[in-house]
Chain A
């Protein structure tokens, strides 16, 4: 079998691992039962309160603007870069169209390359902070470095494709696909699951604290 075909098969299997693992993790959490809260609510909690906090935490509290600066700046820039590359690179859109049945316009390749390089740069800054900031150094574990690695790798392997390095394009694409497969394999086990946990966690706090009328 060609290397590219093997990579495509690996991608498919890792996709199933990501879906099944995430479902296992979510069901494992949701199967826990909370005790009923018998306190008299000050105001409604529930879904509207959950949705409110899911939204407001994306903005951050104005009073904590200074404290949030690094997290919000680096975090948003990295995520925007990542999703621009995933969703607006024309060859990616072709794959999405084949998978979802709908396509959309993309950005010129050169824009994607610039965004990709910038995103790798941001990831390197984030890694440097994690290795040097006393708090981040203390609280980091294998998950943090592994999650960083599997996020950065597809960007790097993707950026290598136009450079060639004397290799066939199919080989470079296969390497890129393997790196994406690795990301999907790791996805349900570590902190990359924040992709969906963010809604559950923020929503839980919103539902509980909003019914008290407490600050969220």
Chain B
């Protein structure tokens, strides 16, 4: 339970918090010593060979800073990716490394303090989207992004995460959605879209080959995505359904660092998929949902998932490539923003390009695009953290430059969280580009009789 004294404005376009200038936030009433102990215990709880290898390998070359959007845009060395892990590196060397007895006996590595962790909250949450660009340049091959996620486990248990992120994660755990989408709200909005778009939407079927889930960002802010998804699924002729007992794909347990909540949120979907006997789970346009279910879902389940997990772009690309789906040609120039967790970190970079190829657009890859793309700056939960807004806008300037260099007519992505961030930044900068959805472009250009 968060003990924040700050008021949340849940009605604004983005969840906002009063007094965003607060330097760091705390949950619970633990003593400083307890916070440090909790942080270290839960950092090391999942501690394995991989993390130990990485923490032993850093040569302090600093090159990770050169590709981190926060360092590049501010020039502030504290944003060096590996520095964001400093207290955890320090704790590892002192407590768990092969030479910990030396470091501890001679106090060569100091004990981590609560003040340090409080200071590092800004570095681990406000200024890291876990985009993994730094992991690509490290000469030692250290996957820094995975260590940041692990450090967040410790920070959550220590009650040291940003209020807004804690609030949305708690809502997701307790209410089933970070944005307050109850099963009834979901059903109502599906029915609205059904009428609005005159499309058949399957809800709570007892059996289906495909279970489709949505992000509550789409449900609340981009509801057309639900209709678009239904149109595409209908066109493939597969048996599919939405389920009101497992519809929310976002996973703020993962983003906030609470493994128990991450598991609970993932299990709602996994249970629903098992219940309907799904052979395939189709994830929506959401980056971190792909990481949570495609690459971590089985680990939450404790064994391999009994169904395939596909991002919606993978599903569409497969349907187009196999001829189950056909689309009209679209005569415009397009550039595509790769969501980090789907492309760079998730390996599904090819799928959107296959779709754009079928659409016949004049596709313009961004300079250093694809897997080397600049993150939009809103991932990893950062878009929820109000005090990080100025920094988020600052790093978005990189993205604007990257997009503008293509001179494309339209900008598309396949992540509603990125889309939300683009929309917010677009308003902030009064930028000419408006982010669109690849899913919706496909739905708008379907050749309906493809199945026949």
Residues of A within 8 A of B (CB): 24-25, 27-30, 32-40, 42, 53-54, 57, 60-61, 63-64, 67-68, 70-71, 75, 133-144, 189, 191, 193-194, 197-198, 200-206, 208-209, 212-216
Contacts and interface: CB of A to CB of B under 8 A. Distances in A.
Contacts of A61: 136-137, 372
A137 B372 CA distance: 27
B62 A214 contact: no
B397 to A, nearest CB: 18
Nearest to A67: B66
A38 B56 contact: no
B371 A215 contact: yes
Contacts of B77: 134-135, 137-139
Contacts of B345: 209, 212, 214
Contacts of B428: none
A58 B135 CA distance: 14
A64 to B, nearest CB: 5
Contact of B298 (A29, A39, A137, A204): A39
A140 B60 contact: yes
A38 B298 contact: yes
Given A38-B298, A39-B298, A135-B77, A33 B67 contact: no
B82 interface: yes
A197 B71 CA distance: 27
A42 B142 CA distance: 21
Residue among A30, A38, A60, A137 having the largest count of chain B Cβ atoms under 10 Å:
A38
A38 B303 contact: yes
Contacts of B349: 215
Interface string B79-103: 0101100100000000001110010
A54 B139 CA distance: 10
A205 B135 contact: yes
A48 to B, nearest CB: 15
Given A64-B67, A140-B60, A38 B305 contact: yes
Contact of B99 (A25, A32, A36, A54): A25
Given A38-B305, A61-B137, A209 B80 contact: no
Given A139-B83, A202-B141, A209-B143, A63 B368 contact: yes
A208 to B, nearest CB: 7
8 contacts: A29-B56, A33-B49, A40-B308, A135-B65, A136-B60, A206-B141, A212-B346, A214-B346
Contacts, number: 175
Contacts of B97: 28
A32 B140 contact: no
A215 B97 CA distance: 29
Contact of B142 (A68, A134, A201, A215): A201
A35 B51 CA distance: 12
B347 interface: yes
B86 to A, nearest CB: 8
B268 interface: no
Nearest to B314: A42
Q: Give the interface size class of chain B.
A: 35 or more
B347 A40 contact: no
B297 interface: yes
B75 to A, nearest CB: 7
Nearest to B295: A39
B71 A212 contact: no
Contact of B305 (A40, A137, A204): A40
Contact of B98 (A25, A35, A144): A25
B98 A27 contact: yes
Contacts of B66: 64, 67-68
A64 B58 CA distance: 19
Contacts of B143: 205, 208-209
A32 to B, nearest CB: 4
A194 B80 CA distance: 20
5 tightest A-B CB contacts, nearest first:
A28-B98, A213-B347, A38-B298, A202-B141, A215-B371
A7 B344 CA distance: 52
A194 B59 contact: yes
A204 B50 contact: yes
Contact of A212 (B47, B52, B347): B347
B14 interface: no
Contacts of A200: 53, 57
Interface in B291-350: 294-299, 301-305, 308-309, 343-349
Given A133-B62, A139-B60, A214-B346, A64 B372 contact: yes
Contacts of B54: 201, 204
A139 B62 contact: yes
